[in-house]
Amino acid sequence: MKCSNCGTESGGNFCSSCGAPLKAGDCTECGAKLPAGARFCTRCGAAAGTTTAPRGSARGQAAGGNPNLPWYLAGGVLLLLIIILVVPLVTGTGARPSDQLLGPAVPLAPGTPPPLTGSPRDQADRLFDRIMTAAERGDTAEALRFTPMAIDAYGMAAPLDDDGRYHLAVVHLVAGNTDAAISTAEQILADNENHLLGLAVAGEASERAGNLAAARTYYGRLLAAYDAEVARSLPEYQAHMRSLPEFRANAQRITDG
């Protein structure tokens, strides 16, 4: 039989020279009869000897691609993530997640509030210390920046002991609110009329407010009770021991004037 594709005489089902089919067959798509050597169906155009079975069928999966391909792709992505995230930690290169989240530890710069950790009283006292430190170095702007925070913090820490009330009175004094400072100091004096810290801050607040008569009254009481009160060695006196001689010297100055 002569091959219709290359003209070679051959026997059997396929040409021995070019491999083309020598006998007519049926289209695997539409079932139409195909002439010998035809490469495409003259009815539907499908390639002879191939099929495009519907998607989802077993033949469609075999002809259209590997059904496990999505799993291979997912595995490849997972492996890439492991290389990116884990290898730097094992080899010591790259930053640890905790480093990225927390950042390096740096000292607090002026103007930065202290960390809000611990009890409300701890937070309030840290703000008080920051205000006093700023005031001592003459940084009035920074001291004033933290006074509202400190006042709120001492409010949340209530009820306050005498030391806490003294701190709050001083913060009011730094903020320029002499009335609030005197009112807070009077809360101390309500429990102990001779309390040196209460008398000192009330006297200074009165002096700043221009009420020298009231200032002399508070300072006179401080001088009269000074030795006996120091001898009591109250915890708040011990905490502010360096300030007590200054309070007495200032009281002496005002009362002598």
Digit-coded pLDDT (tens) for 130-182: 999 999 999 999 999 999 999 999 999 999 999 999 999 999 999 999 999 99
Would you state the pLDDT for residue 26? 73
CATH number where 251 lies:
1.25.40.10
Tell me the one-letter amino acid at 4: S
**Residue 180 maps to a domain:** yes
H/E/C letters for each residue in 167-189? HHHHHHHHCCCHHHHHHHHHHHH
Tell me if 19 is assigned to some domain.
Answer: no
Cα distance between residue 251 and residue 186, in whole Å = 17
Considering only residues 1 and 160, tell me which one the structure prediction assigns the higher pLDDT. 160
Determine the straight-line distance between the first and last CA of the chain, rounded to whole angstroms: 140
Residue 201 lies in a domain: yes
Q: Cα dihedral angle (93, 100, 146, 158), rounded to 10 degrees?
A: -120
12 within a domain of the structure (yes/no)? no
Tens digit of each residue's pLDDT (9 = 90 or more) over 91-116: 444 433 332 232 233 344 555 555 65
Higher per-residue pLDDT: 57 or 99: 57
Asked whether residue 40 is assigned to any structural domain, the reply reads no
Is 30 inside any structural domain?
no
Domain presence at residue 98: no
Regarding predicted confidence, which is higher, 187 or 78?
A: 187
Average pLDDT over the chain reads: 77
pLDDT band at 197, cuts 50/70/90?
very high
pLDDT above 90 (res 51): no
> 117 has which bridge partners?
none
Q: pTM for this structure?
A: 0.56
65 in a domain, yes or no? Answer: no
Give the chain's domain count.
Answer: 1
Residue span of the structural domain in which 212 resides: 120-256
